[in-house]
């Protein structure tokens, strides 16, 4: 579907509400799956291929996949204002709910029973993060070339608290070079 | 006011360093806010992060609670803008010219090269949280055994079933309420 045809159909209000619905219902992380369902299957604003193309950009650039996707898709639908509408829709519901949870937390955190429940919540949150890490990273953990970088980054940032900026700037070029395209290398020698 | 400026500087930098998603900046965020700038305690950081996992929408929205804790509504708003604006602006402009790089074999190299770095950062995030939430030397062994068991149970349940992660976190809260000494 052409972008021009779409922009005639989709209003800023529609963009905001579709993203706000995702922002308000995507419990438990994995916002990308909710986005795919809404944008591709339900609203049909994007084809599956377009979605995957946009997701690739969103994942490669810094930032959260959910907010990057909002900006990219919103812009395609209605330009800069579309991007703002999508981004606000994605962010506002979660921000409101987080603030509400925060106020409840301030109110109840000194109650000893609630403190125990919070300790349980925190212990479970570590499990959730570890699970996601293992799910997307197991391939890197069993590949020696990758495992060296995983371990190096873990030790530098996790143990020695070397700044993220220094770590990324020094290791990323090396890691990318080690995965350099075969053709580029060949081109150099020819 | 100077505290709010400190918040903006800190979270704007983290915004641009969030490679492979928001959780990559977790270890640095904890170190900076807890140990470097003494904005919140390690326990508060861990609890705020965990509460954030119960909310829908973008991951790491919990950052606005750190802002609120430091300087009220102004702080929350400052962190919201600082953490979400730099990277979305970058994304807005780069995605427009992305087609220039389309088909370049280097895109694949960037993704494969960055992947282990992101995983290392996420593991460091697990470690940073786990030091407070899973195994905390200031607690007795019984408490630590239970918090460790809750974390392991969540990993096992999520690996074997399709349960929503937010539900496992709620279940952890219930388990903590009834089981923790």
Interface pTM, i.e. ipTM: 0.92
B164-to-A5, A179, B37 alpha-carbon distances in Å: 37, 35, 35
Instruction: Inspect the interface and report whether the beta carbons of B51 and A121 lie closer than 8 Å.
Output: yes
- Which residues of chain A register pLDDT less than 70? 1-8, 183-190
pLDDT at A60: 86
pLDDT tens for B69-117 read 999 999 999 999 999 999 999 999 999 888 777 778 888 888 889 999 9
Does B148 touch chain A if contact means CB atoms closer than 8 Å?
yes
DSSP annotation of A2: -
pLDDT at B40 over 60: yes
pLDDT at A183: 64
Of the pLDDT bands very low, low, confident and very high (cuts 50, 70, 90), residue B129 is very high
Nearest CA distance, B12 vs chain A (angstrom): 11
Q: Tell me the average pLDDT across B122-146.
A: 93
Sign of CA dihedral B160, B164, B165, B170: negative
Nearest chain B residue to A90, by CA? B57
Instruction: Inspect the interface and report whether the beta carbons of A98 and B61 lie closer than 8 Å.
Output: yes
pLDDT at A189: 46
Q: Tell me the average pLDDT across B5-14.
A: 96
B42: CB partners within 8 A, 6+ apart = B30, B34, B131, B132
Instruction: Inspect the interface and report whether the beta carbons of B58 and A184 lie closer than 8 Å.
Output: no
Nearest chain A residue to B152, by CA? A127
Q: Tell me the average pLDDT across B1-7.
A: 90
For residue B154, which of A117, A116, A125 has the smallest C-alpha distance?
A125
> H helices within A109-143, ranges in order?
112-141
Taking contacts as CB-CB distances below 8 angstroms, the residues of chain A near B46 are: 122, 125
Instruction: Inspect the interface and report whether the beta carbons of B57 and A125 lie closer than 8 Å.
Output: no
pLDDT at A190: 39
pLDDT at B22: 87
pLDDT at B35 over 80: yes
Top residue of A46, A49, A63 to mutate, by most chain B CBs within 10 Å, is A63
Question: By CB neighbour count within 10 A (0-12 exposed, 13-18 middle, 19+ buried), where does B102 fall?
Answer: exposed
- Please, are residues B66 and B40 in contact by the beta-carbon 8 Å criterion? yes
CA dist A13 and A18 (Å) reads: 9
CA dist A173 and B158 (Å) reads: 34
Mean pLDDT for all residues in chain B: 92
Q: Tell me the average pLDDT across B128-146.
A: 93
Instruction: Inspect the interface and report whether the beta carbons of A126 and B151 lie closer than 8 Å.
Output: yes
Instruction: Inspect the interface and report whether the beta carbons of B129 and A105 lie closer than 8 Å.
Output: no
């Amino acid at each position: 579907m052409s972008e021009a045809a779409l922009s005639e159909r989709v209003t800023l209000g529609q963009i905001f509400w579709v993203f706000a619905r995702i922002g308000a219902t995507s419990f438990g992380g994995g916002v990308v799956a909710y986005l795919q369902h809404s944008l591709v299957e339900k609203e049909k604003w994007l084809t599956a291929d377009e979605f995957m193309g946009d997701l690739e950009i969103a994942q490669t650039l810094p930032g959260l996949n959910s907010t990057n996707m909002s900006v990219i898709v919103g812009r395609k639908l209605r330009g800069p204002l579309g991007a703002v509408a999508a981004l606000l829709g994605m962010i506002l519901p979660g921000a409101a709910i987080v603030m509400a949870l925060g106020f409840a937390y301030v109110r109840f955190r000194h109650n000893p029973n609630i403190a125990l429940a919070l300790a349980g919540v925190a212990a479970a949150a570590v499990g959730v993060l570890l699970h996601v890490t293992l799910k997307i990273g197991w391939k890197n953990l069993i590949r020696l070339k990758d495992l060296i970088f995983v371990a190096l980054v873990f030790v530098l940032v996790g143990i020695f608290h070397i700044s993220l900026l220094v770590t990324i700037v020094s290791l990323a070029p090396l890691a990318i070079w080690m995965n350099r395209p075969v053709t580029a290398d060949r081109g150099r020698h020819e | 006011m100077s505290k709010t400026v400190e918040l903006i500087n800190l979270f704007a930098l983290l915004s641009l360093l969030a490679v492979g998603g928001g959780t990559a900046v977790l270890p640095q965020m904890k170190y900076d806010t807890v140990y470097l700038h003494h904005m919140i305690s390690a326990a508060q950081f861990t609890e705020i992060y965990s509460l954030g996992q119960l909310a829908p929408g973008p991951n790491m929205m919990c950052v606005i609670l750190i802002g609120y804790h430091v300087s009220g509504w102004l702080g929350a708003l400052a962190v919201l803008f600082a953490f979400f604006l730099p990277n979305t602006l970058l994304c807005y402009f780069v995605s427009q010219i992305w087609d220039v790089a389309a088909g370049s074999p280097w895109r694949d190299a960037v993704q494969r090269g960055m992947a282990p770095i992101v995983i290392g950062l996420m593991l460091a995030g697990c470690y940073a949280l786990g030091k407070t939430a899973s195994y905390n030397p200031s607690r007795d062994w019984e408490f630590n055994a239970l918090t460790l068991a809750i974390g392991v149970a969540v990993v096992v349940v999520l690996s074997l079933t399709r349960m929503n992660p937010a539900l496992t976190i709620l279940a952890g809260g219930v388990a903590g309420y009834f089981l923790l000494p």
